[in-house]
Structure 1
Amino acid sequence: MTADRYSTLATQGAWVNLSTRAKWRLSGADRVRYLNGQVTNDVRTANSLTALYACVTNLKGKIEGDIFIHAAPDGESLLLDADTSLRESLGIRLERYIIADDAVLEDITDDWQLWHRISPPNGTENPPSAEGHYLTNEYRFHLPGYDVWLPNTSAPPSETWLSEAEAETLRILNRVPAYPHELNAETFPQEAGLESRAMSFTKGCYIGQEILSRIKTTGKMPRQLIAWTSETEQPHGEFLMNAEGKEVGQITSATWHPEKQTYVGLAYVRQAAADAGTWQTFSGQTVQAV
């Protein structure tokens, strides 16, 4: 992303095409109760105006996927979306425990476009209008914005939108963890900093809840996600070492900051080593927390 493009985005907002994301419709009288037992957030609060963010975890509390949930305007179903790579695995996972429940999970990935609008700072704009569309508010990039679900037969937004690479840069600049870089089967939601955004500790039981509640109580977890900066380019997967030369972390995402003219990214660092604030790569380059 160029500096001019970044400046335009900051003042005028932008569209992001998320249409390749996996999408499902969950219907049936037990849909809310069922899904509430599968994800980390309280599905009872899902509505048609604002998307609810949550993680799907395994019995060990590790992340199998992250999803956005909102109630369809007709009040008869929930709409879910997740990273495109999760279409098969997460679909199977979400359907696995539907046994005696009145709940039906339907893959609707190919039926809908999904667009996200990052709102300009002044927030004065009219959402697009299209027959049969859904509109929900969502902070996908930790910025004010909204999602638009459009039938695949509808015309996409007429304005230009961010390229996939530009959207990825924006994600990293705003410190948004994503599947599979920061969110995966090796990670607890709290390690990724998702406790306040994607978790409820009052809603009752769900798969993985016992372990995650223990982490909440003790505050202890193996790693934590940090944002970093470096004067030199750092590849994804680069290991980080402490002053004694011991491996304490690993870079998960990296990009160029078009405004600050430096390299930035995200990394996991062992909780005990996170306070150091500065680490070295195996090649002797410095990475500093921000």
Structure 2
Amino acid sequence: MTPPLACPAETPTILSFSGPDAVRFLNGQMTQAVDGLGDEAKPACITNAKGRLEHFVHLCQGPDNESIWVVSNHDDPEELRARLERYLIADDVEVEDLSGTWCRIHASGRLTGATFTRENLGPWGKGSDHWWPAGDEPTIHTLAPEEIEDLRIERALPRWGKELTPGILPPEAGLDSSAISYSKGCYIGQEVLSRMKTAGKVNRRLGLFEIPSGLTEGAPLELDGKEVGTLTSVAGSLPLALGYVKKAAFDQESLQTSAGPAHWKRWA
């Protein structure tokens, strides 16, 4: 039997929210619907009043199936907590920092022995997050970071620090299809993002390109001698890259680079 594909073990930032007002409070902070998570983990954006990205997280129920975990691979727990508690005034909510106390392994199939699991999308598509108390996780074969990165780019998944940075508008990165609920109640930044959806317009978009060899992150994409985009992630073993493209080039099937044409494949 072929073992499942697995990512290396992580001990991410975790803020646990519980109490009678936890779901209502988080719904007012996240672009994603917090109620009804069930056995799933879902991506969510935390935006400012102008709809611009401040944090990118995942939401899931904790092992008690009552608390809501806000999970991040990159955020400082104190900074993330300060951002959320800024709006915690008269709500009956308890916040607990569990960072470093739980370990997560994401895999394409089931791993035995996990304390609890949550369905989630990984670099290869559908999979599950498996959680253990930190130090209790098994030693298993995992993909190398460069293999995971190539899979991520092939699926046109944005990553924090590459395509996702503070200040971007989430729909530019294609997050409107996975991390934004347009049917939930109000949250900070909702008015701006709802207007963008109604208008159906963004000033730039994240795309997947087939590229010639020799290009690196930051390489410009040009149309008629003018820069209209930039590569943000370049695969190591595949002729693929992700990059942002300005509106003026949305209808172009290829753009020029210093190494030759980059052919558009699809939007994120």
> What is the identity, as a one-letter code, of the residue corresponding to 1:270?
K
Q: Does 1:211 align with 2:192?
A: yes
Q: Do the aligned residues in 2 keep the contact of 1:20 with 1:84 (CA within 8 Å)? A: no
Cα distance change of structure 1 residues 20 and 251 upon mapping to structure 2, 3 Å threshold = farther
Structure 1: 5+ residue runs without aligned partners? Answer: 1-10, 120-125
* SS class of match (1:150): strand
Cα distance change of structure 1 residues 252 and 81 upon mapping to structure 2, 3 Å threshold = same
Cα distance change of structure 1 residues 157 and 271 upon mapping to structure 2, 3 Å threshold = farther
Percent identity reads 37
Q: Which aligned pairs between 1:73-152 and structure 2 lie closer than 5 A?
A: 73-119=63-109, 126-130=110-114, 133-141=115-123, 143-152=125-134
Q: Which aligned pairs between 1:149-160 and structure 2 lie closer than 5 A?
A: 149-154=131-136, 156-160=137-141
TM-score normalized by the length of structure 2: 0.91
- How far, CA to CA, are the matches of 2:113 and 2:225 in structure 1? 57
Q: Greater helix percent: which structure?
A: 1
Task: Look up the match of 2:214.
Answer: 233
Alignment root-mean-square deviation, CA: 1.8
Task: Look up the match of 1:70.
Answer: 60
Q: Do the aligned residues in 2 keep the contact of 1:53 with 1:67 (CA within 8 Å)? A: yes
* SS class of match (1:15): coil
Task: Look up the match of 1:268.
Answer: 244
Structure 2: 5+ residue runs without aligned partners? Answer: none
Cα distance change of structure 1 residues 101 and 71 upon mapping to structure 2, 3 Å threshold = same
Task: Look up the match of 1:254.
Answer: 234
Deviations 1:93-146 (A, max 9, x none): 122211111122222121010110123xxxxxx53114xx12111113251210
TM-score normalized by the length of structure 1: 0.85
Equivalent residues, number? 264
- How far, CA to CA, are the matches of 1:205 and 1:31 in structure 2? 15
Cα distance change of structure 1 residues 12 and 288 upon mapping to structure 2, 3 Å threshold = farther
The range that moved more, 29-38 or 95-104, is 95-104
- How far, CA to CA, are the matches of 2:28 and 2:148 in structure 1? 32
Q: Do the aligned residues in 1 keep the contact of 2:15 with 2:77 (CA within 8 Å)? A: no
